[in-house]
A and B are shown apart, each in its own frame.
Chain A
Amino acid sequence: MLTKEEELRLYEYDGSVETGRPDCVVFPGNKSEVAEIARLVNRYAVPMVGRGAGTGLSGGALAREGGVQVVFSRMNRILAVDYENQRAVVEPGVVNLELSRAVARAGLQYAPDPSSQKSCTIGGNVSENAGGPHTLRYGVTTNHILGLEVVMPDGETYRIGGAAVDAPGYDLVGLFVGSEGTLGLVVEITAKLTRLPESVKTLLAVFETTDDATETVAALTARGITPAACEMMDGWTIRVVESWIHAGLPTDAGAILLIEVDGPKEAAEEQAEAVVETCRAHKAREVRTAKDEREREALWKARKNAFGAVGRVAPDCYVQDGVIPRTRLPETLRRIAEIGKRHGFEVGNIFHAGDGNLHPMLCFDHREPGTFERAMAAASEIIALCVEMGGSITGEHGVGMEKDRLMPLLFSEADLELMKRVRGALNPAGLLNPGKLFPASKSCGEIRAPAMGRGPNELGEGVRGVTQR
């Protein structure tokens, strides 16, 4: 247990720009300790919040109202793997990639692959319903969770879901996955394991303009081709990334698509051909196929480290997370560029094109007066645009503290009320992860820019923290 100020200050941040200092941090070693902690906390009526690796991008794991932070880093054992039925039972602190690594020898993987997978925990993934580049093919976390064991705010432990895919009764697992740690603490997870594909093909398609690239994505959908992953990077981002990572990306291109197809050997090859054809039909200047695992790794490294690379060119960079229907990609990107221009920014784009999950990036230096505010204003316009396009305010980073004020953009008061009733039923005193997900007061209809008025956080880097993805 940590209570000294200098120790607590190491738990007041996560991957986001927000901060919130707990009064005490505990590291339970097993589920009965978690239950014990919950009972105590409940008795003294102090707030409590769970924390995995603290890679969250919306401040979900922060103790917004102080209280006890329950860190799951010690509960990191893989308890059982049932190879035949392709299931694993794990503690919540198991790191995403470690599970995939542990079962790789048996030709299996845990499919959801957020870009933070080398650090983030499965407990955190469950709470945020994390997705990743391969979400397009394999779905998000909720599609891979069979059962959970949860400790409720009063300290009672329940098992929900189980082995069967479609259990009778309410889908409580579905309710818990993505609840951002506001309903209960997850202490054990039964996850589905997926066969590693027999064959994987990774293609790089090069276009002169972003429009050509986004139209290709729409065309792929129209033709009924579902790649395993389909990521887009625009020209500006390509140049920034290539100057650091040297993956052989064409720096004079307008945009690239990184497309992966997988499956049985023949099917993958057939699909790859169809993808090449579609790209060519939409004015792709060049379509390359990664020759071997090394080339494939280089391409993905460029993709997964892209935000870090962007972080090197500007002191601050704010990455937004929004979703739109992919058929409206060309139009939305054009309008995002316009919004950026109006506020004096060049907007970089790198995102999960296949899902229409956008991550526009605004680069700036918060030490120049006024830029921070302009960036925030542009960011909220962009998010509003996503909603207008028929999309959502967050694709995968969650609402947390960052976007609670934006919820009314998406949901009516009645919708929010219903959600709050659910929370109220399971977390009646509201002491579990308070101050998240919902706007602070009911009348808060106005949209404030996230992090606005907060100024640069204590590391001093302004909003750059939200950049990573």
Chain B
Amino acid sequence: MAVEAKGMMRAMAGEAERAEYGDFARCVHCGLCLNHCPTYRLWGREADSPRGRIRQMFLVDSGEMAMDSTFVTHIDRCLDCRACETACPSGVEYGKLVELARGRIEKEYRRKGMARLGRDLFYRRLLPYPKRMAALGGLMRLVQQSGLQKMARSAGLLKLMRVDKRADLLPEIDRKFFSTETTRTFPARSARRARVAFFAGCVARMTFSALSEATIRVLRANGCEVVVPEGQWCCGALEVHAGYRDVAREMARRNFDVFLADEAGFDAIVTNAAGCGSTMKEYGLLFATDPEEHKRAKRFEGMLKDVTEFLDELGLTAPMRHVQMRATYQDSCHLLHGQKVREAPRRLIRAVEGVELVEMELSDQCCGSAGVYNVTQTETAMALLKRKMECVNATAAQTILTANPGCLLQLRAGAELAGKGQEVLHVVELLDRAIGPERP
């Protein structure tokens, strides 16, 4: 209660939410997390390690250190991949700490002109609005399709604008977006075993509609009635990671309205994006101060399942064909470290006859995608990707499987730039292939 009251007072005073003393005190600076942290592995610096970041956050929070550009740089460089959380024996909730710190940075630190304007534009003026994002998507597609991008690249324009590599990492926009304008219901293709709601995502709606459709096919083939409720939009993960907590709260509220209102009730809310899932499973953290909203958040959390987790628990019943493939699996950080789901996707992969799963070294290390990290910290993301591809190449697998759209994009770029042209698939896309085309 005391904690809540304090939080409430801060919220009323318009202050950023803060971590509590106990959250920091859990870190006993044992250092067991260091070597699990991608940025520490890259540079070997405390300042870019979990232990060092926690220390900096604590010193800033307790007023012993200024919130200056040094601090912001090290916090910005964190991938929020949460590998440190998995490694930590003391149960430090690093993700929560860094997200709160970022919230404070957005409120109290003045970024340099362009960076601030750009971030505000994206997080406040674009991302929350489906129509604006659709328009932006349309524009991007125009650029991508018209050959303008190619032209710009060959003219060295992209390089000049320092977005050459970034353009590679941006998603290709679909011709037809995955629709959530009206509620759609897809009946189970065999005896109904569950009724689930599908969360389509915001950017994924415009760039991964094929994946969304595959997900729905796989669920239906395994006896699920799938409902895509209208009016759903973004989960708020990108906003939480960037520190725009107020925007994220709005997104969450909209999702409560959309997903919790259904009268028949859902057995689960399913997503194929581990990054979104991880945030939605922690909606409670966004509503620490209001008991009513907190309760709704908790109810939502309880229903949310990653598609691999859900299918694994449900058990696969759809007949599947033999698929000849040597594959390796890259853990999506927000599935493994955020949601602690490790075995489910592997079990699903093994369930497909003919697939030989070869584990790569360090599959639990981030590929560098990390939400928008590959766009905001391109160089680091590319360095991580290069290391990742070395591990992938060593397995001689022709296919890389993973469980999150962002990772798919990054790994596709990796396969092209530093790999051997491997095919990159979401685990449900593999299942979809094994199930085969729908017979009318």
Contacts and interface: CB of A to CB of B under 8 A. Distances in A.
Given A6-B70, A73-B44, A76-B44, A308 B35 contact: no
Contacts of A13: 29, 55
A9 B57 CA distance: 12
Contacts of A119: 31-35
Given A7-B70, A53-B34, A76-B44, A312 B91 contact: yes
A116 B32 contact: yes
Contact of A459 (B24, B45, B65, B68): B24
A365 to B, nearest CB: 10
A311 interface: yes
B89 A71 contact: no
Interface in A274-309: 304-305, 307-309
Given A13-B29, A119-B35, A459-B25, A305 B44 contact: no
Select the residue from B24, B27, B66, B90 with max chain A CB neighbours within 10 A: B90
A241 to B, nearest CB: 10
Contacts of B361: 101
A308 B32 CA distance: 10
A305 B35 CA distance: 16
B312 interface: no
A459 B25 CA distance: 7
Contact of A4 (B52, B59, B70, B87): B70
A308 B31 contact: no
B252 interface: no
B365 to A, nearest CB: 13
A460 B52 CA distance: 15
B28 interface: yes
Interface string A19-57: 000000001000000000000000000000000011100
A311 B28 contact: yes
Given A6-B56, A71-B44, A73-B45, A460 B30 contact: no
A390 to B, nearest CB: 31
A468 B30 contact: yes
Contacts of A101: 361
Nearest to B88: A308
Contact of B30 (A95, A97, A244, A465): A465
Contact of A468 (B25, B32, B45, B59): B32
A465 B25 contact: no
A244 B33 CA distance: 18
B21 A460 contact: yes
Nearest to A462: B25
Contacts of B70: 4, 6-7
B28 A9 contact: no
Interface residues of A, number: 42
Given A10-B55, A459-B58, A464-B28, A54 B46 contact: yes
Contacts of A6: 56, 59, 65-66, 68, 70-71
A159 B242 CA distance: 51
Contacts of A465: 28-30
B80 to A, nearest CB: 20
A93 interface: yes
Interface in A303-361: 304-305, 307-309, 311-312, 315
B21 A9 contact: no
Query: What is the size category of the interface that chain B forms with chain A?
Result: 35 or more
Nearest to A301: B89
A468 B91 CA distance: 13
B20 to A, nearest CB: 12
A118 interface: yes
Contacts of B274: none
A9 B90 contact: no
B90 A315 contact: no
A61 B56 CA distance: 20
A15 interface: yes
A95 B25 CA distance: 26
Contacts of B87: 118
Nearest to B26: A311
Contacts of A460: 21, 24-25
A27 B44 CA distance: 9
A101 B361 CA distance: 9
A330 B179 CA distance: 71
Pairs A-B, 10 closest by C-beta atoms: A308-B89, A73-B44, A468-B30, A10-B46, A55-B31, A305-B89, A461-B25, A311-B90, A10-B52, A308-B90
19 contacts: A6-B71, A10-B46, A15-B31, A27-B44, A53-B31, A53-B34, A71-B44, A76-B44, A93-B44, A95-B35, A97-B35, A116-B30, A118-B35, A119-B33, A304-B89, A459-B27, A459-B58, A461-B27, A465-B30
Interface of A: 4, 6-7, 9-11, 13-15, 27, 53-55, 71, 73-74, 76, 93, 95, 97-98, 101, 116, 118-120, 244, 304-305, 307-309, 311-312, 315, 459-461, 464-465, 467-468
Given A101-B361, A116-B31, A459-B29, 10 more contacts: A6-B59, A9-B59, A10-B55, A15-B28, A15-B31, A118-B36, A459-B25, A461-B28, A464-B28, A468-B90
